[in-house]
Every structure is written in C-alpha cells, then in structure tokens.
Amino acid sequence: MTERYDCIVVGAGPAGAAAAFTLAKAGLDVVVFERGEYPGAKNMFGGILYSTVLNRLMPGFWADAPVERHVVKRRYSFVSNDSEAAFDIRLDAFNRPPFNNSFTTLRARFDRWFAAKAEEAGALVVTGAVVDDLIIKDGAVAGVRVRMEGGEVFADVVIIAEGANSLLAEKAGLKPKPDSANMSLGVKEIISLPKGVIDDRFGLEDAEGAAVEFFGEALGPGVPGGGFIYTNQESLSVGIACPISALKEKGIKPNGLIDGFKRHPAVSRLIRGGATEEYLAHIIPEGGYNAMPELVTGGALLAGDCAGFVNPSLYKEGSNLAMASGVMAAETVMEAKSRGDFSKKTLEGYVKRLEESFVLKDLRRYKDAPDVLRSTTGLFKDYPEAVMEMLTRHFTISEESKADAHKELKRILKGRVSLLRLAGDVLRLRKFVR
C-alpha cells in the first residue's frame, strides 16, 4: 500500500474526526487511521459532550447523533466523609435547542457516528490500523508507517490526533513523556437502571439529563480529585478522576477508589439497584497551558488531547477543544495547500488560530489552575469537615441563641483552618469556577 493523500489523520476521536470531516467537505483527499476495531472502541470519557463546534459543523446534529440526554440540571455536591452540601441548578433555557451544547454521550456509539459522517463527506476511514511511526524526510514529516504489509503512506501533511497516550508524538520527539502530576486517571462504570427510575431519582423527564459533580472528600480524606454521575437514557456514567502523582504517592488502587466512591451515601443513594455493565479507564491530560507541547513541526500538527487541550479547571472539558483544534488544524492544512507550502512556518498559522479562539484563551485563563488545585490541599482535607460541621450547627434546631451559635461557628472554623488561609484559598480558587 504505497499511496499518497493530501492529508493523513491519526486517530478517529473527536479531534481526528472533526479534522477529517472538515477536510473532506473542502474536497481534500484525506485518510484516517484508527487503531480500534471501530472508532470509539478504545475511547471513554466522563460523559458530557460539549458541542458548540459540532453544532457549527452540523447544525442540529442532535436529531441524528446517538446522544443520550441533554443536560438541564447541574448539581455541585460538596461531600465530607458521610454528609453532603449541594448546589443545584436547573435552567429552562437548557431545555431548548441548542440545549446548552451539553449532551451526555457514550463514546463507543458517538465516535462511530462522527467518523461515519466524515466518511459520508468523503474521507477514507481505515479501522484496525495502528500507526507506528511518522516517516521523516528532509527534516519534515512526510507520511506514516501503518502496521500492515507495506504500510508506508505519504501525504503533504499529517494531523496527529492520537489522544492523551501520545506514543507517536513522543517517539518523534515532538513532546516529552508527560509528568505524572500533569496527568489524571479517570475510572468509570456504566451502571444500568430503568429510564423511569433515573427520571424519578434525578427529577427528569423525556430526554432531560443531569450532571452531578462531587468535590471535597468524594475520594476519601486528603485524596485530590473528584467524582461524577451523569445520566444516560438507561444507564448512569459513574466515575472518579485523580492525579496519577497522588495515586502513586499514596499507593491507592484505582478500583478500590471507585468502589469507595460508590459506597459514599451521597452516591450510593443515586446508583442503588443498578447493575454494572462496563468498567472503563483512561488518562486525562491536566497540565493545561504550561504543559503544552510544540503544536506544529514541518509537515505535521498536533490536535486534541495529544496537544493537551483539556480545560484544567473544575470542568473536564475536552471534547469541544478537541473538535475545535481538529477543525483549525484542517483549516490550516487547507491554507497550506493553497500556498503549496507545508513548512513549519506556514503551519504556525494553526497556533495563531488557536490563540484567537476559546481553545488557547481558556487554557491561558486557567493556566495556574493545575498548580492552585494541587497546592490547595485543604479542599480535599480540612474544609469538607469544617464546612459540614458549620452547616450541621446552622441547620440543627436547638435552643442555643443565634448569637451563641454564630460564635460557635467561628470557633469551629478557626479551630479547623486558619481564616487567612481560607480567605486566600477562596480568592485563588474563585478564578477557576468560571
């Protein structure tokens, strides 16, 4: 198979499929290599597809795409070891198109659909095809080596959209192996429940969905990270995410961590009676702006997770950034083609496009988030207990005078955490809650 294309895309995740779709629509000859048996076979995420970019590519896509539910309800739940304080929001506007561009989704279904759309647009999608190497000629990327008989394939340019486990980009020296402090592990279970039970339990109807995020001691005292429950049509996505460095340092087993999370009363109430259908795990790049690799080299661009495009604030927003970067990589390739120049200098236009878009604007805005979240250890330790104790006192009906109760509140807080530290942490964190 010695062939030549305008563009080769490695990986049929959201980044690769968006790039291929865009290029094929513009009439370029594009081939996508995906190592999975089908697109999505290797992919998992928490479960909310953010879709502003997709809705631009295919307006009203939700009528056709295998999305589960649109998220009308968000709940932020702060938990201590056994109690919960939560903030709930449900907005009617989210019940109307474009549904706040937030849809619960299962990747094995969605990625397959999206790749099929790229195929319909004219891209060639080859599954079961592992790309093992980039072919370098005269100092620039000229093609890829696919693991099959005579698998050298050439193109003017290669879009590397291989995801967070960036073997290719690292092998080619485009980025170092990521640091364990900049990478989290997410572990999830798909837990099935009848639709009616999910609707009643979460207060939903029809295609309405809910997203619950758990903070504080969701993973146990002093363990950074958090948990989530998202509603699908007839199942829940129940999972946790924790920095690899913390897992390593504390010697925590991820399977034990998700089991513990499922046992927390705030969680077990919501998943009661459900049956686990699948067990999944994947890494999430969370280093943000400061950990970003070089985005282009002669003849190649990095898009999506392999470029580290995940918003490292409290939201694990990656799908939208992946698609946006895939589209911008494609547009850059189209421009390069019209100039007949695929040098690093021309491809740098990609970085400019990203800088002007929400992708790098947001990553820059949240660039200190990884460090701040890491250093605010109180978030996962002293605060949950202190907050819960304060709330317990506040809501407990007693004959203690309000003035005395107030004094007592202050004492509790002071005893637990220094007010100065709390004030500092609140200020530092405020920025990252949008």
Partner 1 sequence: MDKTPKPLTLSEKLFLVRFRVDSTSHLAVNQEACKACADRACLTICPTEVYRWDGAASAVTVSYEGCLECGTCRIACAKGALTWRNPSGGFGVCYRFG
Q: Three-state SS for 126?
A: strand
Site for ligand FAD (CB under 6 A): which residue of 274, 287, 304, 349?
Answer: 304
User: Hey, how many other C-beta atoms are within 10 angstroms of the C-beta on 104?
Assistant: 24
- Are 139 and 297 in contact by the 8 Å Cβ rule? The answer is no
- In this chain, which stretch among 13-21, 61-69, 73-81, 348-356 interacts with ligand FAD, using CB under 6 A? 13-21
User: Hey, how many other C-beta atoms are within 10 angstroms of the C-beta on 352?
Assistant: 12
CB of 163 to ligand FAD, least distance (A): 3
Instruction: Work out whether 197 is an interface residue with partner 1 (CB under 8 A).
Output: no
Nearer to partner 1, 244 or 379 (CB): 244
Say if strands 48-50 and 131-137 run parallel, antiparallel, or are unpaired: unpaired
Among residue numbers 8 through 47, which ones bind partner 1 (CB under 8 A)?
A: 35-38, 40-45
The DSSP annotation for 228-243 comes to EEEE-SSEEEEEEEEE
Site for ligand FAD (CB under 6 A): which residue of 168, 295, 301, 330?
Answer: 168
Contacted by 145, from partner 1, ligand FAD, none: CB < 5 to 8 Å by type: none
The burial of 79, by beta-carbon neighbours within 10 Å (0-12 exposed, 13-18 middle, 19 or more buried), is given as buried
Q: Would you mind telling me the total number of residues written for the chain in this entry?
A: 434
- In this chain, which stretch among 287-295, 310-318, 345-353, 364-372 interacts with ligand FAD, using CB under 6 A? 310-318
How many Å apart are CA 388 and CA 81, to the nearest integer? 10
Q: Three-state SS for 47?
A: coil
Site for ligand FAD (CB under 6 A): which residue of 9, 13, 28, 53?
Answer: 13
Backbone angles phi, psi at 303, to 5 degrees: -130, 155
Site for partner 1 (CB under 8 A): which residue of 283, 334, 351, 422?
Answer: 283
How many Å apart are CA 165 and CA 46, to the nearest integer? 17
Instruction: Work out whether 224 is an interface residue with partner 1 (CB under 8 A).
Output: no
Among residue numbers 181 through 220, which ones bind ligand FAD (CB under 6 A)?
A: 186
End-to-end CA distance of the chain: 49
- Report the alpha-carbon angle 166-353-170, nearest 5: 15
Instruction: Work out whether 148 is an interface residue with partner 1 (CB under 8 A).
Output: yes
* Site of interaction with partner 1 (CB under 8 A): 35-38, 40-45, 106-111, 127-130, 132, 147-148, 164-165, 167, 177-180, 183, 185, 187, 189-190, 235, 244, 247-248, 251-255, 259, 262-263, 268, 272-273, 276-283
Q: What does the binding site for ligand FAD look like in residue numbers (CB under 6 A)? A: 10-16, 33-36, 39, 42-43, 45-48, 50, 130-131, 161-164, 168, 186, 239, 241, 282, 284, 304-305, 310, 316-320, 322
